[in-house]
Amino acid sequence: MPEDLEVLMERRIALLDEWGELQREIAAMQAKSAALLAQRWRLMEDEIAVAPRQRDVIERSMIAEHSAAGRISKGSMEYAFSDARMLEQCFPAVVLLFESGRITPGHVREVIRPAEVVRDAIDEGTVSSDTLALYEAAVLEIAERDTAMRTRVHAAEVAAALAGVTVVQRQKRARGERTVTVRSVGDGLALLEAVLPEHLAVGIHDRLTTMARELAKHPDNRDVVLPPLTPADVGWDVEAGMSFGADTFIADPFGGEDPLLPDPADDDVQAMLASDPFFHADSPCITHVPADVRTMDQLRADLLTDLLLASDPSAAHRTGLDNITATIQVTVAAATLAGADDLPVQLDGTGPLHPDTARTLAGARAGWTRLFLDPTGFVTQTDTYTPSEPMRSYLRARDQHCRFPGCRQPVHRCETDHNLDYALGGPTAIDNLAHFCRGHHVLKHPDIPDAHRWTAHQLPDWSVRWTSPTGRDYADPPPRRVMFVPSAVSIRSEAPVDAPF
């Protein structure tokens, strides 16, 4: 590497190290902040003990003062106090990681809030009191090495597995909260909000995204409102029925009832065509269709409007959208699908799903793919066999989302990548294939200079190890289906367990 590039690389690494250390310090300071809020809550309880009739006023005053001092909204301050109190009372292991800066405030939030169903199940007596500690340990396995958003999904799945009956009951009650509201946000815009079952909302967004991408890919496949055109705009004399003006013909240049076509290469013919308004780019006879400059969000919004008001997006956007459907991926245990139990189902990449919803979806499908899991919860194989689909089916079931650390782009919006380039001898095999979204796939493209190109390598445990241009390694372990196993079990088994569909 040239000397100047080496200097730049050293500076890049130094800045990365400094930034990473600062992030840990910020997280540790946030942990101290949460501890102070927990102390203040205990002080408030002491104040209430002195004046019990003033409980509401004392609490309101405390939240108001912290909101003013921190320039934080009342609602956010209420959440901060609630999280701090719950953190101190129920999650000692989370506190230790938070204080050391190994997890962020976002991770803490995503660990605490899904635990509500576990606490409810403990209060209802459906699970034992030590279940919360089991939940904490299971979720921290992911939180310590992954993003807050991935932790959120995993925490919801763990909570559903531990307090399944409570989750099902809560989802059943929550269905009654479906609603659609609208409120003005100013400047002629309004916010249309719909509270829907999660699998329907995910499906709606997926269909809108797929349709928007189809429009962006084929901008010419749409109806365009063109400006009005009058005869005078193109220099046409309606009464005479002929074109007029300088350098135009006033009679049929070919003559006769059956004229012979002139030679297009003739100089006189070329001059005539050049002056004809139908043959030059600046002619008012030619209307240039404007480019579609809408963003993906704008396309989704326009499609949603068309679907709701016209019930037919093709009426406004022509053909090509009729056969686009929503895509979601659901994992359900065979026993649950058969009705032997009512444990929650997994809406892959999102969270738990009511078992009745999964059974309804299953009835609308021509077939499901059976998955085999090893004792640690990894997918090892599927039982579908066609010339090429089995491998893709397996990879979709295994990866669930883009395999770059922290990315949650679902697999049906990703590309299947040869981790070791096929042109360099990389085999088309499961242990050399993984899903990468377009934004992360391009990072390892061979056209990118070495100083900025990433590499990806799949490890024996199906983790994908990304190596950055600075030489740092970042591993992305494959997502597991929630199964509670001893921590010592960390490698795949040779004997798969026939489990969910």
Burial class from Cβ neighbours inside 10 Å (0-12, 13-18, 19+) for residue 11 reads: exposed
Per DSSP, the three-state class of 440 is: helix
Residue 276 φ then ψ, to 5°: -70, 130
Helix/strand/coil percentages in the chain, nearest 5 = 50, 10, 40
Instruction: Give residue 490's pLDDT.
Output: 42
Per DSSP, the three-state class of 48 is: helix
Question: What's the token pair of residue 293?
Answer: 């400059």
CA distance 443 to 90: 42
Residue 410: C-alpha distances to residues 329, 350, 400 (Å) = 9, 10, 6
The average pLDDT across 225-241 equals 53
Is the predicted pLDDT of residue 359 greater than 70, yes or no? yes
The average pLDDT across 420-439 equals 80
What phi-psi label fits residue 138: left (phi over 0), alpha (psi between -120 and 50 degrees) or beta?
Answer: alpha
CA distance 361 to 359: 5
What phi-psi label fits residue 400: left (phi over 0), alpha (psi between -120 and 50 degrees) or beta?
Answer: left
- Percentage with pLDDT > 90 across the chain: 23
Is the predicted pLDDT of residue 278 greater than 70, yes or no? no
What are the E-state strand segments in 166-205?
179-186, 189-195
Matching residue, tokens 């927990």: 38
487 or 126: whose pLDDT is higher?
Answer: 126
CA distance 496 to 381: 8
Average pLDDT along the chain? 77
168 or 189: whose pLDDT is higher?
Answer: 189
33 or 359: whose pLDDT is higher?
Answer: 33
Instruction: Give residue 136's pLDDT.
Output: 94
189 or 459: whose pLDDT is higher?
Answer: 459
Instruction: Give residue 422's pLDDT.
Output: 67
Instruction: Give residue 13's pLDDT.
Output: 92
Q: Quick check: 110 and 151 in contact, CB under 8 A? A: yes
Which residues 6+ apart lie within 8 Å of 123 measured at CB? none
Sign of the torsion formed by the C-alpha atoms of 450, 414, 400 and 166? positive
pLDDT in tens, 241-263: 444 444 554 444 544 444 555 56
Reported as a pLDDT band with limits 50, 70 and 90, residue 182 is confident
Reported as a pLDDT band with limits 50, 70 and 90, residue 313 is low
pLDDT in tens, 128-155: 889 999 999 999 989 998 999 889 888 9
81 or 480: whose pLDDT is higher?
Answer: 81
Q: Name which of 67-81, 161-175, 184-198, 430-444 the model is least confident about.
A: 161-175
Is the predicted pLDDT of residue 235 greater than 70, yes or no? no
Is the predicted pLDDT of residue 215 greater than 90, yes or no? no
Helix 3-50 / helix 92-99 crossing angle, nearest 10 deg: 140
Residue 108: C-alpha distances to residues 218, 451, 464 (Å) = 44, 36, 26
Residue 235 φ then ψ, to 5°: 70, 45
Which residues 6+ apart lie within 8 Å of 459 measured at CB? 465, 475
Strand partners, 194: 180
Question: Using DSSP, how many helices (H) and how many strands (E) does the chain show?
Answer: 17, 15
Is the predicted pLDDT of residue 35 greater than 60, yes or no? yes
Instruction: Give residue 322's pLDDT.
Output: 53
Is the predicted pLDDT of residue 385 greater than 50, yes or no? no
180 or 262: whose pLDDT is higher?
Answer: 180
Instruction: Give residue 39's pLDDT.
Output: 95
Matching residue, tokens 């065979």: 334
Question: What's the token pair of residue 335?
Answer: 């026993």
Instruction: Give residue 289's pLDDT.
Output: 62
Instruction: Give residue 49's pLDDT.
Output: 93
Residue 406: C-alpha distances to residues 67, 119, 144, 152, 346 (Å) = 32, 28, 12, 12, 20
Is the predicted pLDDT of residue 455 greater than 60, yes or no? yes
Instruction: Give residue 212's pLDDT.
Output: 86
Is the predicted pLDDT of residue 442 greater than 70, yes or no? yes
Matching residue, tokens 């999660």: 198
| Spatial CA neighbour of 375 closest among 254, 481, 294, 278 | 481
- Indicate the pTM of the whole model: 0.59
Reported as a pLDDT band with limits 50, 70 and 90, residue 292 is confident
Question: What's the token pair of residue 116?
Answer: 């509500």
The average pLDDT across 312-318 equals 52
CA distance 464 to 478: 8
